[in-house]
Amino acid sequence: MKEQYKPLFESFTFKSGVQIKNKIVMAPMTNYSSHEDGTVSEDELHYYERRAGGVGMVVTACIYVSPNGKGFSGQFAGDRDEMIPSMSRVAASIKEKGAKAVLQIYHGGRLCPAALVPGGDVVSASAVASEQNDGIVPRALTESEIESIVLDFGATTRRAIEAGFDGVEIHGANGYLLQQFFSEQSNTRDDRYGGDIDRRLVFPLAVVDEVKRVAAQHAKEPFLVGYRFSPEEATTPGITMEHTFRLVDELARKELDYLHISLMEADSLPKRGAEPIKSRLEWIQERVGHLVPIIGVGSIRTPDEALRTLDVVPLVAIGRELIMEPDWVEKVESGQEEQIRTKLSRSGQADLTVPTPLWEMIVRPTNWFPVGD
């Protein structure tokens, strides 16, 4: 490899003791390819196998922890013990190629399609609709239901341990249930789970505590726990950088293995709650990076862009680029970065080992991939 890219290939050890062979992470991406019963498909396994040979760690697509938390067709399930054999196949497919396997766990909340949840009963922090799920007004969860979902996150963590995963990533980003409780746009409650920012934090922090408790109780080997979040929302009211600073302050006290920032552009600037004199990533690294490792992500296409992100934070996640170029890491490591694919051929699905449901999403006219003929 070229000398300047060596920092990308240094090993990294998390607080839990989990060590990864390099500082490149496969970002979590929905692939829409599991069976209707929530079990993983062969195509999905091959998709992970194809991409797990180069990166240090793979964070899977999100797995739902409660029956009413399924947010996508073709999503794999972690809400019951019958799913452990299926989950084990995902973990094994990743680990056999040399990467650590991290399961992203979540509840979709008000973003779940009514057709995918029992009785069409879509739930959230409050009865506030989302533009992303048109025509659905969710039902506000009761306090006992909230407590039950907290336990569901713990139970799925136990299943992840039994299935052989090296860790879990709590999905508190992209408008899903944990974010719905944290945001004043979607949380209008007046009980202990809503109101001021202290109470809007109660549910997300309870999930963190339960996941860590279960990991400590059940994991016999080093097992990491991370947390993903979105730093801002476009709505007013909604999450601002000022709110996020409070969130990361609290998360940093939880002795998590990492924080993973959900960004479309790694170098994007704040809109509200912080001066746009440096990127969101830089603000958060400055705030808590000395306490908890930060993973940077967001349209990192080239090794030079990955290096620039690594100048800010200790770990770099790559998403779409690993769909378009499964050998991205290997090509950089072997000094063949000029051979990295920058366009998809419409006839290249088999070569790239992309499941058909994901491929059909990619090649739509409105997709965000550069697609050639």
Q: Look up residue 192 and give its two tokens.
A: 């202990």
Burial string for 241-256 (b: 16+ CB within 10 Å, else e) reads: bebbbebbebbbebeb
- Give 3-state DSSP helix, strand, coil % of the chain, rounded to 5: 40, 15, 45
Q: Look up residue 358 and give its two tokens.
A: 């994901």
Question: Is-catalytic flag, 176?
Answer: yes
Q: What's the rounded Cα separation, in Å, for the pair 275 and 281?
A: 13
DSSP-assigned letter for residue 56 = S
| H or E element in which residue 25 lies | strand 24-26
Q: What's the rounded Cα separation, in Å, for the pair 272 and 264?
A: 17
Burial class (CB in 10 A: 0-12, 13-18, 19+), 308: middle
Question: Do 18 and 257 touch, CB atoms closer than 8 A?
Answer: yes
Q: How many residues does this entry show for the chain? A: 373
* Beta-ladder partners of 317: 25
Catalytic residue among 176, 193, 227, 258: 176
Task: Indicate which residues carry an active-site annotation.
Answer: 176
